[in-house]
């Protein structure tokens, strides 16, 4: 089935059940296996794939992500649960093209820094390209702040998405999803981002396409049901997953036996630091899947009134 129709089927199901779709970023084979393992164990769909904005620019320019994307495609096709492959936050059209050739169901290009006119022009190119592959496109309007101190210095204050511009942008580009800025913060851990739920509701009304929230790691967990009620249909999580993965590697690499690398391939058990990291990440991925993709709005009105 084409990526676009697979995505819209998943969105319809998610909305019927009062859920959102979890976009859990992967960056290597172990993280991919952990995320699909979590999805299979819980019987919940997941969207996964590499994101290019927090990747080494030279690696990206050389198309280094193509083998990882191919692994995502194969793993998704073998999965017992629905897995959609995303190429997230491409910087250039050429990267989008590589992603589509690699079998991405969904592509997204970073355009938050552009003017509205340039953004529309660039995003229309992405939509035109993706159409040939039957893939879906996530557009971006407004720029989430970045939590990482080394990037924060270079960036201006958050640029919240404007509802009228969202209406115009969606009708001018034909995107299938819209990533919005409503107080969400990239690479931010600890769940303290000040989310503007009222703005999310206005945007859902104006945009008339499902909304996406980047920076899920920084969203207070108790806000997630209200975000879903407000119209957010996909929540992206990367920083929290990476943090858990690398934390496990740092802990395990010092343990006795961690150097006996010749016994490790496929065994996936301690003391292999990558196995430890994979197991830790699988737990973290399950936690996020339950937060985002399990029944959230059993009591929609009660939740809604809290915010």
Stretch that binds Zn ion, among 39-47, 162-170, 206-214, 276-284 (CB under 5 A): 206-214
Minimum separation from the CB atom of position 246 to Zn ion (A): 18
Half-sphere exposure of 260 (CA within 13 A, CB side): 8
Locate the DSSP E strands across 142-259.
145-146, 177-180, 185-186, 211-213, 232-237
Stretch that binds Zn ion, among 42-50, 56-64, 211-219, 246-254 (CB under 5 A): 211-219
Cβ closer to Zn ion: 137 or 274? 137
For 267, list phi and psi in degrees, rounded to 5. Answer: -75, -35
Stretch that binds Zn ion, among 66-74, 99-107, 130-138, 207-215 (CB under 5 A): 207-215
Half-sphere exposure of 274 (CA within 13 A, CB side): 15
Does the footprint of Zn ion cover residue 214 (CB under 5 A)?
Answer: yes
Contacts of residue 231, Cβ cutoff 8 Å, sequence gap at least 6? 200, 201, 203, 204, 205, 210, 211
Stretch that binds Zn ion, among 152-160, 213-221, 242-250, 280-288 (CB under 5 A): 213-221
Contacts of residue 165, Cβ cutoff 8 Å, sequence gap at least 6? 116, 141
Cβ closer to Zn ion: 4 or 214? 214
Residue 139's DSSP bridge partners are: 178
Cβ closer to Zn ion: 34 or 109? 109
Minimum separation from the CB atom of position 212 to Zn ion (A): 9
Cβ closer to Zn ion: 199 or 214? 214
Sign of the Cα pseudo-torsion (3, 97, 129, 180, in order): positive
Residue nearest to Zn ion (CB): 214
Minimum separation from the CB atom of position 89 to Zn ion (A): 6
Binding-site ranges for Zn ion (CB under 5 A): 214
């Amino acid at each position: 089935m084409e990526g676009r129709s697979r995505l819209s089927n998943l969105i319809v199901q998610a909305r019927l059940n009062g859920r959102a779709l979890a976009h859990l970023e992967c960056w290597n084979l172990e993280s991919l296996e952990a995320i699909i393992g979590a999805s299979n164990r819980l019987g919940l769909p997941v969207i996964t794939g590499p994101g290019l904005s927090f990747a080494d620019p030279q690696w990206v320019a050389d198309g280094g992500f193509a083998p990882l994307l191919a692994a995502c495609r194969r793993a998704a096709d073998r999965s017992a649960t629905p897995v959609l492959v995303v190429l997230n936050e491409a910087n250039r059209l050429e990267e989008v093209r590589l992603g589509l050739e690699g079998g991405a169901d969904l592509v997204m290009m970073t355009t938050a820094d552009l003017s509205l006119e340039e953004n529309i022009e660039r995003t229309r190119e992405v939509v035109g390209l993706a159409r040939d592959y039957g893939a879906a496109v996530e557009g971006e309007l407004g720029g989430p702040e970045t939590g990482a101190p080394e990037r924060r210095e270079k960036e201006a204050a958050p640029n919240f998405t404007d509802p009228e511009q969202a209406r115009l942008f969606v009708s001018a580009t034909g995107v299938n999803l819209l990533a919005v800025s409503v107080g969400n913060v990239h690479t931010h851990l600890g769940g303290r981002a000040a989310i503007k739920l009222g703005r999310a509701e206005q945007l859902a009304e104006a945009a008339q396409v499902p909304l996406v929230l980047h920076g899920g790691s920084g969203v207070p967990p108790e806000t997630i049901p209200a975000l879903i009620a407000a119209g957010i249909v996909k929540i992206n999580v990367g920083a929290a997953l990476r943090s858990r993965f690398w934390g496990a590697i740092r802990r395990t690499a010092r343990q006795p036996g961690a150097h006996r690398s010749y016994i490790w391939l496929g065994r996936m058990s301690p003391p292999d630091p990558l196995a430890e990291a994979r197991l830790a990440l699988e737990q973290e991925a399950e936690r996020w899947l339950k937060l985002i993709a399990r029944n959230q709005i059993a009591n929609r009105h009660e939740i809604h009134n809290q915010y």
